[in-house]
Amino acid sequence: MDKKTPAKLKQAYPQARRAEPKPSRAEAEAAVRTLIQWAGDDPDREGLVDTPSRVVRAYEEFFAGYEVDAVDLLSRTFEETDGYDEMIVLRDIRFSSHCEHHMVPIIGKVHVGYLPKKRVVGISKIARLVEAFARRLQIQEKLTAQIANTIDEVLDPEGVGVVVEAAHQCMTTRGVRKPGATLVTSRMLGSFRADPATRREFLSMIGNPASGQLSNV
């Protein structure tokens, strides 16, 4: 991690948070077998006998973000921009995450914009930053704030804007069962919060010119 990274951010977004040792793969697979039995099926029947190992491998992909240092992703920046000082926007970054309340998918897209002060970062790093936080147990409000706060602290831009639009299967496939509903959240920092013109420009660029209705976290 970059030595210049603010201590506040290092504490807020560590690479992983584990209160106790990580269970073994065998223990994780045994837990999946228990859930299959609890659901009412036989984990030893042909169609399910390999399911515990498949689920554990899938979880390694779903929650790979715990093994990524999100702050370090932005540590390599570029100052040779020939004085470029206009807004930088990367929109429609597709992501899939999992609700920390029910462990079911959250699927949507993220729009990220920032107004550089001195430094810019490679655009792939912004997409990787989204992935690092998305591939953890999440709520959308926290995901939105984590992405914006990390960019703001590490790059120190004039301002940052993040908008997330996503469908939550915890309410589309269970509970209230409202398919097609989309949650929209935003985080505006610096000039994106203080200057209405900057905010409008960003929202217009991502296709949400009338987003005064956004939930700003």
HSE-CB at 165 with a 13 A cutoff on CA atoms is 16
Mean pLDDT score across all residues of the chain: 89
Catalytic site includes residue 99: yes
| Class of 65-216 in CATH | alpha beta
pLDDT in tens, 156-178: 999 999 999 999 999 988 888 88
| Class of 25-62 in CATH | mainly alpha
CATH 1.10.286.10 boundaries in the chain: 25-62
Q: Are strands 159-168 and 183-190 parallel, antiparallel or unpaired?
A: antiparallel
Residue 200 clears pLDDT 70, i.e. is over it:
yes
- The answer to whether residues 97 and 135 touch, using CB atoms and an 8 Å cutoff, is yes
pLDDT in tens, 9-40: 554 554 555 667 899 999 999 999 999 999 99
Catalytic site includes residue 140: yes
Lowest mean pLDDT among 8-12, 82-86, 149-153: 8-12
> Who contacts 18 (Cβ-Cβ below 8 Å, separation ≥6)?
none
Among candidate residues 140, 153, 158, 165, the one labeled active-site is 140
Catalytic site includes residue 98: no
Catalytic site includes residue 168: yes
pLDDT-based confidence at residue 43 (cuts at 50, 70, 90): very high
Q: What percent of the chain has pLDDT over 90?
A: 74
